Structures are given as C-alpha cells and as structure tokens.
Amino acid sequence: MITHPTSRLLTAAATGLALYSSLALGAGEKTYEGSASTISADSAKVVRSPGAPDLTEAEFSKAKQIFFERCAGCHGVLRKGATGKALTTDVTQPKGQAYLEAFINYGSPAGMPSWKDDLTPDEVTLMAKFIQHEPPMPPEFGMQEMKETWKVLIKPEDRPKKQQNRLNLKNLFSVTLRDAGQIALIDGDSKKIVSIINTGYAVHISRMSSSGRYLLVIGRDAKINMIDLWMKDPATVAEIKVGLEARSVETSKFKGYEDKYAIAGSYWPPQFVIMDGETLEPKKIVSTRGMTVDTQEYHPEPRVAAIIASHEKPEFIVNVKETGKVLMVNYKDIDNLTVTTIGTARFLHDGGWDSTHRYFLTAANKSNKIAVIDSKDGTLESLVDVGNIPHPGRGANFNHPVYGPVWSTSHLGDASISLIGTDPEKHPQYAWKVVETLEGQGGGSLFIKTHPKSRNLYVDTPLNPDAGISQSVAVFDIKNIKAGFKQLPIAEWADLGEGPKRVVQPEYNKAGDEVWFSVWNAKDQKSALVVVDDKTLKLKKVIKDKRLVTPTGKFNVYNTQHDIY
C-alpha cells in the first residue's frame, strides 16, 4: 500500500496538534467548540517572537481576529491548551510552516476540523505564521472595570412590592435568542411571547433567584442582565459586565441567604466574582489561575465553567475547567472568604444535582469522567468513567426499575448514554457506578432531560453530522428502557423550509406533561419552538415568530428555580 505524503503528514499532525481526540463531527464541532471568543482582537497587544516568520502590523492584527473568532474556544486565548492541544511556540515552531499549513487546511482524523472551506489559502498561510509567534495577551478585567459597566436601572426600593402582572411565572420560559443578543419570555400556558429583552451576546444560561422573582442571564460577552419578573412588563433592573468572556451565573439558595448574593464566572480573565443579589454590585473577585490537578503544572487560563448553588451550606460550587478543580466557595462571610478545593479531573464543564440535591455530578469532558461531589461533607465521592466527552447539561434523574435512583449523561463523542447509580443509602451496591449504558441514535448530544412526573427520557443530538439525526430526538421509555428509543422528527414537524434546523435542548413545563424543543436555524432563516405532548409523544404546538432568531436554550422558571431535572 502506497501512502500519500500528505496523508503521512496529517497522521503525524493528529498525534501532535489534534484539537480533541476521536470526535469527528465536522461542522457541528466547530459550531460548539470553535465558537467565536467575545474578546476584541484590538485589545490584545502585538508580540514578536524570535524564530517566527515576519508579519506586518496589519497581518498580525488580522491573524489575532481570526484566532479569537475561530480558535480560542478550543485552544484558549493564551494557546496553553483547553479542549484542544497547546499551540505554544515550543510546539509550533519545530513543526514548520508547511506542516502547520497542511494541518490547518485538512484537519486530522483525531478531530481537528478542516478549515480549507472557511479560510482562504492566504489566511491559512497567515495563521500558520501567526501561531509561531508568542500569543498576544488580552487585558485583565478587575473591580474598576466591572464598576464602570455596573448599572442599577431601578433601585430595589423602587421596585414592585408584589407581582404587578398576571403571568403564571411558574410556567414562564426564558428562551435564548443566540445571535440576536436577546431573550424571549414566553408564556408556557398560552405559548405566546410576553416580551423580547435585549441582553449580552449569545446568552449561555438563564438562572432564577431563590425567590423566583429575578431572572439572571449571562452572555458570552460576560454581560449579566437581572430581570425583575414582578414588574408589569418584566425588564432589566440591573446589569454588569464581569469580564471579556463568560458562561456561568448563579444565585444563593441556602436558607437565610435567599437572593442575598449572585456569582458569575469568567472565561477571560479566569476568575469569578460574588455580587449583591439585588443590585449586582461586585463585592469580591477571586482568580482561578493555578496548578493542574494531575501534573501539577501552572495553567494561566483555567476558565470557570458551571456554577451551582448548594442546598446544604451557604456555598457556591464552582467548576474550574482546565485545572480540574471544584471549588466550594462559602459566602457566609465574603470578607473572610473560605474556599475548599477538591481535585477531580481536567476539563470540567457542566453538571447537575442528583435527585436529593446533595450530590453534584459534573462532567470532566475531555477526561471522559463524571466527578461526584458530596456537597454536605465537601468531599470528592467518586470519579466515574463514562463514554467519550460527556455533555449532560444538568443531567437527568429518574428511578430505574432495577437500580433505583440514577443520574444520566449523554455524550458529544459517541452514541452512548451512561446511567449512574446515586443512592448510597438504599442501593449502595450501585452507587457511583455506571449501572447501564444505553445506545442512542448518535454522537453530538448536548442535553439529556426527564422530569419527576414523566416516564420519558429525551436525548438531543444537534451536533451530529447526519441531518436526520441532528434534526430529531431520541426518546426512551424509563419503564421499559431496554426496548430502545423512538425517534421524534422535531424539525420536520416545525416545517421551516431550508436550513440546518438543529434540534436542541429538551425542556419541560412545570407540570411535566409537555416538552419544548428549539429548532435552531441560521440567523437569516426561520427558526421555531416545538412543543410535544409528553404522554402521547405527539406534536402539540409549533411556535413561530419572526422574533425567534436562533433560539437555543430554554429555561422554565419553576424547574430552574427548584433544580428539577
């Protein structure tokens, strides 16, 4: 067998510079992992490096912009490695210009996407030169910068003393309109849009205050909006930018501290900030830079991923992605802040509670593990091996007919669904073990969901390269789980015409008898929300509106407030 030289080159590239191992989802991967950084290229200083090819000022500026838009999501702003491998000069310069160009052009079997259809030949040459230079450093973002962006639009004393509208807040949905920089508030009863509220770019999550009054949303540009749902017309009452790029926000839930504090974590700078729970005034900033949990080497860019509020103590539980550490941040006295550090595994991402709200199960996605944290004792309970790149969202809890209470995750990298036993009291033989592995319809899953009143388990696959899979969802009957899944043609039911029409994030209404799905199309194409009857698995309603621009995440107020999933 004769091997083409380019093939040999790419095989070598796969072992040296692959973005992430064995997940070959093509365009879908780039959508998820390679999404644009919100950091402005103009904010990063030009850096010259010995041994690197010459670049003009204009070329360096253009390359910075491409890197932040295309590459930083995987390799990190400082190129120290994140989901993707490190692209520091000690790695890139020895490879040489031709090697790097080939790798950028053609990708690798290990998961590096090909960029030849997205970048011109000149841009590929430019990027191969750029990554041989030291990475430019974006600016820091401290207390002064935060306070310059902080606004209280309506003071707490001037807000309503009781609910001023007739909305059924318990069945209200906050829907991310990703590319519009907005959220839609939709009445879960009438299925009508209540209002469209301007936010930061690409809202990542919506979280409810403990009281159910305030809705907090955070965009990828690190802007937080606090929305008062009691107002006659719900609107933003406070806002702040907590950095240059971010993903997570949460509010205090422990008894006696309801609505007292909010917390947000940043991708850049790598830090979290504790804020006043009614005004978003920043109170305490904590850096997450430090040593990795395994090799004990310094990492300058450990990003803050999921944050969850403890029900057991006055604590926030903070995932630090690149170093693989879970921080138990006690907010009882923020002037004398106590932080317990729990080592788990690298590349922590998202996760959620077990059914008792004591154990936090969180994905270390590139380590292919689920870390189990005991929030009562403040310890690591277990590290559980699962499938390839777990991505549970918050996961899904249900009672298995054989194994008792389980929590489940689907995966980006394969079609498996891992069920983990979560009852160390009555089912100790199954606790913190994968008790069963289901076969879904494919890899590329972002969210899995069920409800205490439902007998169904829904698994989306929006990043699968097969349109028939990315435009549908798999549904398992919990009472007869070995029977396999049924496929629901969600995008077909939406009847939108052209476009990728990725179906993403099942979300239940309060009653647990409806499931909502986003049919996420391109910004210039029609999108929709599809509502399914959970009992019959039949189409119940398609919500179409020209204002529904790129809908993605949906968050039912009651379920989000009470951590029901």
Residues with a known catalytic role: 71, 74-75, 112, 349, 391
Q: Could you give the 3-state DSSP secondary structure of residue 55?
A: coil
**C-alpha to C-alpha distance for 340 and 328, rounded to whole angstroms:** 5
Q: Please name the amino acid found at residue 148.
A: E
Exposure class string for 72-98: b at 16+ Cβ within 10 A, else e: bbbbbbbbbbbbbbebbbebbbebeee
Q: Could you give the 3-state DSSP secondary structure of residue 105?
A: helix
Locus of tokens 């790029």: 245
What distances in angstroms separate CA 13 from CA 18, 127, 238, one per listed residue? 7, 16, 48
Output the six-digit token pair for 236.
């933003």
Task: Tell how far CA 322 is from the center of its chain.
Answer: 14
Q: Could you give the 3-state DSSP secondary structure of residue 238?
A: strand
Locus of tokens 């009281």: 211
The C-alpha R_g of the chain, in whole angstroms, comes to: 23
User: HSE-up of 178 (CA within 13 Å, CB side)?
Assistant: 20
What phi and psi values does residue 66 have, to the nearest 5 degrees?
Answer: -60, -45
Angle at 27 between CA 23 and CA 32, to 5 degrees: 70
Output the six-digit token pair for 473.
């969802």
Other beta carbons within 10 Å of 305: 22
Question: Residue 496: which of 515, 519, 472, 462 has the closest Cα?
Answer: 519
Q: Please name the amino acid found at residue 181.
A: G
Which residues fall within 8 angstroms of residue 383, CB to CB, at 6 or more apart?
A: 344, 345, 364, 369, 370, 371, 372
Question: Residue 287: which of 488, 79, 474, 140 has the closest Cα?
Answer: 140
Which residues fall within 8 angstroms of residue 398, CB to CB, at 6 or more apart?
A: 405, 406, 408, 450, 452, 457, 478
Which residues fall within 8 angstroms of residue 7, CB to CB, at 6 or more apart?
A: none
**C-alpha to C-alpha distance for 79 and 69, rounded to whole angstroms:** 13
Output the six-digit token pair for 217.
């949303």
- First CA to last CA across the chain, in angstroms? 53
